Structure 1
Amino acid sequence: MSDLTRQPLSPSPHDEGPPNHVRSVSTSDIEEQAAQLRGWQQHYSQLSSGAFRGEFQELELHGLQLFFETTSSNLFQTGAIQKDTIAIGLPLAYKGEGYFCGEAMSDTSLHFFSGKDGFEYLSPESLIMSGIVIQTRDLLEQLTQREAEVVSALIERPQLVKVDAQRIASLRQFISSISQMAAHAPQALENEQLLHSLGQSIFNSFIDTIVTRIDRDAPRLNNAQRLKLIKDVRNIVVGSPDAPPGIQDICNALNVSRRTLQNCFQVGMSCTPLDFIKIVRLNGVRSMLRHSTTVSEAAAHWGFWHFGNFARDYRALFGKLPSEEHSQLQKLR
């Protein structure tokens, strides 16, 4: 199984020294905008009137290319991506209607295509599009055999893939927070350990959103089996605090399917496996705050790379900010 530690996709042959993991560009020309996605062959034609304004932001992580593209006008986009790669587009915001390879966009659809075929996209106005590009092999190796078969069928042609509304809303929130971090704190992305953790989190979030659409039967566990599985998952998380495991990592380690794991936590804990992993880590931070010099030290130990999201999640669970908790716990020492 790949652990996403390969070199970034489509590196520039002229790069020297440490890689620049974040790249941001503003444009006023559609051809300049079309050329921003490295490794892609694209052509844009403007359809709506008015001056064009575009922005582009790219993050190169371990084996994963994450991009954000903002375009002000209706465009007709044609192009293709590199062979043996898969692209998954996630619209974050737009006005009006858009059509991807003849299919109407919706708020619950991902744009799915591979290097096998080209694509056509009639994009709406004021579009903010995000997406990932990854090696086909890296994606398929993270899936069960059944899931890999379904995803392989999906990439036979470019198409929109309808997914669970709640899942895609959570994915949008998560991906948007990464764009904000890259814009306001790009220096954080020079940390190699953080880059690996971030890349894995992005990868897992997209995979989990995709595979929830796959309807598979799974054995129902009894109470004792559920409790044991929940305990085993907790032990895995606690055993590697600074590198939170992905869902497929847990499934492989415990020899269970994603659906079995999902059912176990929905019935036994009324939450998703990802929610449980986050709760275990947040509780780990809280325990560590009593002895840590700073909140950042405890957060980093438990693999929280985005301090704003961490503080929000901490307050949602415990009712106070981690800085407030730290101050109170220090007084009790």
Structure 2
Amino acid sequence: MTQIESLSFTDASQHARSVHDWDQTYDQLSPGRFASRLRQLCSGPFQIFHEQLNRRIVQYGQSPAERMCFSIPLCTDSQGTQNCLAILNTHEEFMFHAPENTQIFAATFARDKVLSLAALNLSPRSYRQLTTAPSLQSPWQRTSELHQRIRQQLGQALDCTPQRFNEATAKLMEHSLLGGFLDLLGSVESAGKRRRPSVPARQSLVKMSQQIALASHDEPITILDLCQRLHVSRRALQYSFQTIADTNPVDYLRSVRLNAVRRRLAMSSPAEVSIGDAAAQWGFYHLSHFASQYKALFGELPSQTLRQR
């Protein structure tokens, strides 16, 4: 069951208790009236949340069992935490001192899923860091880009009605965010040390990716799905699509989903299906963005396709 919430608090302890599945305590350390905001989305083991805290607090407790958490604090203290990626493994104890006016962006995923995808996408060194390091220093530019991605996707999720936020949209959001964290972990590696697939291997990857995407009738296929099924890294897929198909796998998979929606609309009458339901079936949960992408690809709005039936 998916839960989408936007909450405000005047008590640090109440805020701490409201983050789903976390056994934690928040103690206020600086004087003054406490005010905070919590936005969160929960769908099974997948969870994203954004915290805004106006007072200095200390957070401590244990992370959820069988999950892995990635957290990026955004603050202006002198300790360098603003460009730090914190990683919590299953049921791991933690303590974090948050200065005044801190924002925290975090996401949790099923631990087994993270490790299986990390084994395909990360170097042995980065994989060891993922499983052993409590925090990693990462390039600020890449971290800032990830902040933007999390804020944008969380905002879109909160704008989405519960009726249109389904398993497909939750999966696409989860895989997109997890891919971003894996990119961040691998960003310290030298690209020159990675071996690129040969031309025949690239052609085969593109062909098999297309076959998998077209054969998926029940749920949208993501890049991480392709990584798992083809046992390759996201970087290998990216390079193969760019050099063979002159596009990237993200745009390709989006086009596959847009075409699936178009077929549904073209075969239905307005009384049989709504545009929102057809879009949500294929993971488009923000209707204005969907309409814009649809028109850019097909030269007409989805409402025009539906009316032509």
Q: Same fold (TM over 0.5)?
A: yes
Q: CA deviation at 1:50?
A: 4.3
CA distance in structure 2 between the partners assigned to 1:310 and 1:112 by the alignment: 33
Q: Which residue of 2 is the match for residue 97 of structure 1?
A: 76
Asked if structure 2 preserves the Cα contact closer than 8 Å seen for 1:80 and 1:118, the reply is yes
Larger CA deviation: 226-235 vs 288-297: 288-297
Q: Which residue of 2 is the match for residue 218 of structure 1?
A: 195
Structure (1 or 2) with the greater helix fraction: 2
Counterpart residue identity of residue 55, structure 1? R
Q: CA deviation at 1:270?
A: 4.7
Structure 2: gaps (5+ residues):
none
Specify which of 103, 111, 120 is matched with residue 136 of structure 1. Answer: 111
The answer as to 2:195 corresponding to 1:229 is: no
Q: 1:178 to 1:42 in 2, by over 3 A?
A: same
Q: CA deviation at 1:198?
A: 4.5
Q: 1:32 to 1:83 in 2, by over 3 A?
A: same
Counterpart residue identity of residue 44, structure 1? D
The answer as to 2:255 corresponding to 1:282 is: no
Specify which of 16, 27, 32 is matched with residue 9 of structure 2. Answer: 27
* Correspondence list, 1:74-223, <5 A: 74-82=56-64, 84-90=66-72, 97-98=76-77, 102-106=79-83, 109-114=84-89, 115-125=91-101, 127-144=102-119, 147=122, 149=124, 150-162=126-138, 165=141, 169=145, 172-173=148-149, 175-182=151-158, 185-189=161-165, 191-192=166-167, 194-196=169-171, 198-215=173-190, 217-222=194-199
Q: Which residue of 2 is the match for residue 8 of structure 1?
A: none
Q: Which residue of 2 is the match for residue 11 of structure 1?
A: none
Match of 1:105, SS state, is: helix
Q: Which residue of 2 is the match for residue 63 of structure 1?
A: 45
CA distance in structure 2 between the partners assigned to 1:20 and 1:290 by the alignment: 30
Asked if structure 2 preserves the Cα contact closer than 8 Å seen for 1:241 and 1:303, the reply is no
Asked if structure 2 preserves the Cα contact closer than 8 Å seen for 1:30 and 1:46, the reply is no
Q: 1:53 to 1:295 in 2, by over 3 A?
A: same
Q: Which residue of 2 is the match for residue 262 of structure 1?
A: 238
Q: CA deviation at 1:84?
A: 5.0
* Correspondence list, 1:3-18, <5 A: none
Could you report, residue by residue, the CA deviation over 1:93-143 in whole angstroms, capped at 9, with x for unpaired residues?
Answer: x5x6146xx53313xx53323344523233351x44221123433311223
**What TM-score do the two structures reach when normalised by structure 2?**
0.77
Q: 1:185 to 1:322 in 2, by over 3 A?
A: same
CA distance in structure 2 between the partners assigned to 1:167 and 1:231 by the alignment: 33
Could you report, residue by residue, the CA deviation over 1:220-274 in whole angstroms, capped at 9, with x for unpaired residues?
Answer: 322x543442232122112114422232321333343333212212333454322
CA distance in structure 1 between the partners assigned to 2:40 and 2:164 by the alignment: 15
Q: Which residue of 2 is the match for residue 4 of structure 1?
A: none
Q: 1:313 to 1:44 in 2, by over 3 A?
A: farther
Counterpart residue identity of residue 112, structure 2? R
Asked if structure 1 preserves the Cα contact closer than 8 Å seen for 2:77 and 2:99, the reply is yes
Counterpart residue identity of residue 110, structure 1? L
Q: 1:171 to 1:27 in 2, by over 3 A?
A: closer
CA distance in structure 2 between the partners assigned to 1:187 and 1:179 by the alignment: 17
Q: 1:79 to 1:297 in 2, by over 3 A?
A: closer
Match of 1:35, SS state, is: helix
CA distance in structure 2 between the partners assigned to 1:195 and 1:24 by the alignment: 17
Q: Which residue of 2 is the match for residue 36 of structure 1?
A: 18
Counterpart residue identity of residue 248, structure 1? L
**What TM-score do the two structures reach when normalised by structure 1?**
0.73
Q: CA deviation at 1:204?
A: 4.2
Q: Which residue of 2 is the match for residue 322 of structure 1?
A: 302
Q: 1:171 to 1:123 in 2, by over 3 A?
A: same
Q: CA deviation at 1:280?
A: 2.6
CA distance in structure 1 between the partners assigned to 2:298 and 2:99 by the alignment: 43
The answer as to 2:28 corresponding to 1:45 is: yes
The answer as to 2:278 corresponding to 1:303 is: no
Give me the CA root mean square deviation: 3.5
Query: How many residue pairs end up in the alignment?
Result: 300
Could you report, residue by residue, the CA deviation over 1:193-223 in whole angstroms, capped at 9, with x for unpaired residues?
Answer: 554555445444444554455445123322x
Structure 1: gaps (5+ residues):
1-18
CA distance in structure 2 between the partners assigned to 1:312 and 1:63 by the alignment: 31
Identity of aligned residues (%): 25
